[in-house]
Amino acid sequence: MYDLLELTLHRDKLSFFGFLKKNPTRALKNGDYYKFVYLLPSNVGLTDFSYKGIIIHIADTVTEGHWQLVRDLPLAMAGADLVEVLEDLERHRLEQARQDVGLELGGWIFDTIANGLYTEQETAYFIRLMFLHGYDFEQLTSLFSAIVKRIELASYFLTTAKKIYRGVEFG
């Protein structure tokens, strides 16, 4: 089962995403906003974020609510070009929100430290959370190696962490 990627764009932003025409999918409209719904590849760990008229929402089901169907097509798999653009936007958004404050050991982070990381989605969320709270790459790697329960996640961890920490001094 795939997660769904809901890409919501203000009509002013559509020109920046012209490459989406090469990968048509179901589309909805609500006023000046368009929502494109894609299947999210299983190796992609995006999280919800918004940035200047661009809204990303990861969901299990399509939230149509007050949206009008404008393109009734089967859901397409999000292409590599879209994923790359969204990962870059997310990284930029994370850099803007990054703070140098430690994490309180409670809730999800406590459960993760106590029980470990088992999935790519958990790993992606963990990386972003550590980045947002100012942990450097060396600290992130040390924590990951101490709590990971599936060694197969190491490759995914390194790939995702390098994308998020790109441009940040290591150590």
Distance CA 79, CA 165 (A): 23
The pLDDT, as a whole number, for residue 169 is 61
Long-range contacts of 113-117 (CB under 8 A, 24+ apart): 113/143, 113/147, 115/149, 116/147, 116/148, 116/149, 117/144, 117/147, 117/148, 117/149, 117/150, 117/153
Mean pLDDT by 10 residues, the chain (171 residues): 91 92 94 96 88 91 90 95 93 86 85 92 93 92 93 93 80 48
* Two structure tokens written together for 162: 């390098």
* Two structure tokens written together for 24: 């048509």
Distance CA 43, CA 26 (A): 22
- pLDDT tens, residue by residue, 108-119: 899 998 999 999
Q: Model pTM?
A: 0.74
The pLDDT, as a whole number, for residue 170 is 52
- Ordered DSSP codes for 126-140: HHHHHHHTT--HHHH
Residue 59: which of 88, 84, 28 has the closest Cα?
28
Say which CATH class 3-97 falls into.
alpha beta
